[in-house]
A and B are shown apart, each in its own frame.
Chain A
Amino acid sequence: SFRNGDFQGRLFKWTNYLHGWQERYLILKNGFLNYYKSEVDIGLGCRGALSVKQALIQSHEFDECRFDIRVGDSVWYLRAHSPEDRERWIQALEDHKQLCKSESGYGSETSL
């Protein structure tokens, strides 16, 4: 059932003041959003992950490609390639979040 909520693709992710926005490969799966340097690097392990269950997904007020994902103190700033792409991502994230909440135990410590 969870497989339906999976989503993946390329987004620009804010890194730091030196490297700014960098294109990364993101995979939404099993209650987590993981990011990789590129599709080729997936086998090397993910560079970071956020739990989607508690995440707050916010689209940017002025920039039609941007959206933020917040979990507690950590924030990922993301940019899609187009406004339509952004909508697809936000929809997928919200759907995934609902799935996490409906499937008891998912996204909690018991799941892995």
Chain B
Amino acid sequence: TAVSATGNHNALVGEKHRLSAEIERIVQGHLKYKYEDVSDGWDLIHQEGEMKVYRREVEENGLVLDPMKIFHTIKGVTGHEICHYFWEFQYRMEWETTLDSTKIIEVLDPQTVVFYQVHKRVWPAAQRDSCFWSHIRSFTSSDEDQPTWLVVNYTTSHLLAPIKSPQVRIVANVALICETVINEPPLNPKDIKRENIECKLTYVAFVNPGGWVPSAALRSVAKREYPRFLKRFSSYVLEQTRDKPILF
């Protein structure tokens, strides 16, 4: 990773740090949630090629809290590669077009960093910012299968990122979960080519932009922006990896 420690105030105690327990809880929650059926209470709001975007309309006190669940299959890349480009700081400004700035304000462990980001202002709305921990990991359901990769971004508060009015803080809980499928495996695993691999991706998001935004406007923006983001990001990863050795 290209991340360097920004200080020693996060002193690791063994492998644990102040956010370890929370991260574990949120990650496990996403893994359980991922397998929940979308047939009940979810609307398929967009379909495009392999991509399917589902939404559940949830409102509390007039505030839109719609969870989104997107399934996509991307040929020619692995789950590790997708998660690598999503998590690693140095690529972010190349595929994320909605930011004015992004920076790491704390490194909690080699798999977890805290980001502070300022989002592009969409006039006439107030400018948004975000502060979240970002965690990457891989795990195997059995030693016989390809590992699954996952990145979770989850809103947190931080001394180095105070909320400054009139800026509005975005609240987000996002997970990118990727499984690699190897089609037509060759006799020797070393002969696997990009044309034989695909990544099955699940993107789960609970995002609230903060402040007050009309429900209808928010829903139409979400419907348009999530597919757009996933297409842009996946074509970026395809472009980056095309001529590189496969990162399994």
Contacts and interface: CB of A to CB of B under 8 A. Distances in A.
B51 interface: no
Interface string A37-61: 0000000000110000000000000
Interface centre among A17, A20, A21, by most chain B C-beta atoms within 10 angstroms, is A17
B185 A20 contact: yes
Tell me the dominant secondary structure on chain B's binding face.
Answer: loop
Interface string A1-40: 0000000000001111111111000000000000000000
B188 A20 contact: yes
A77 B189 contact: no
Contacts of B188: 20
Given A20-B188, A20-B189, A21-B187, A14 B182 contact: yes
B142 A47 contact: yes
Interface in B211-248: 248
B192 interface: yes
B192 A17 contact: yes
A62 to B, nearest CB: 10
B142 to A, nearest CB: 6
Interface string A64-100: 0000000000010100000000000000000000000
Contacts of B182: 14, 16-17
A78 to B, nearest CB: 11
* Interface magnitude class on chain A: 10 to 19
B191 to A, nearest CB: 10
Interface string B171-188: 000000000011001011
Given A17-B192, A17-B248, A47 B144 contact: yes
Nearest to B185: A14
A16 B248 CA distance: 10
B50 to A, nearest CB: 13
A21 B186 CA distance: 9
A77 B185 contact: yes
Contacts of A47: 142, 144
B32 to A, nearest CB: 18
A47 to B, nearest CB: 6
A18 B142 contact: no
Interface string B64-91: 0000000000000000000000000000
B145 interface: yes
B146 interface: yes
Contacts of A21: 185, 187
30 contacts: A13-B144, A14-B185, A15-B144, A15-B145, A16-B144, A16-B145, A16-B146, A16-B147, A16-B182, A16-B189, A17-B146, A17-B182, A17-B189, A17-B192, A17-B248, A18-B189, A18-B248, A19-B143, A19-B189, A20-B185, A20-B189, A21-B185, A21-B187, A22-B144, A47-B142, A47-B144, A48-B142, A48-B144, A75-B181, A77-B185
Given A16-B182, A47-B142, 5 more contacts: A17-B146, A18-B189, A19-B144, A19-B189, A77-B185
Interface of A: 13-22, 47-48, 63, 75, 77
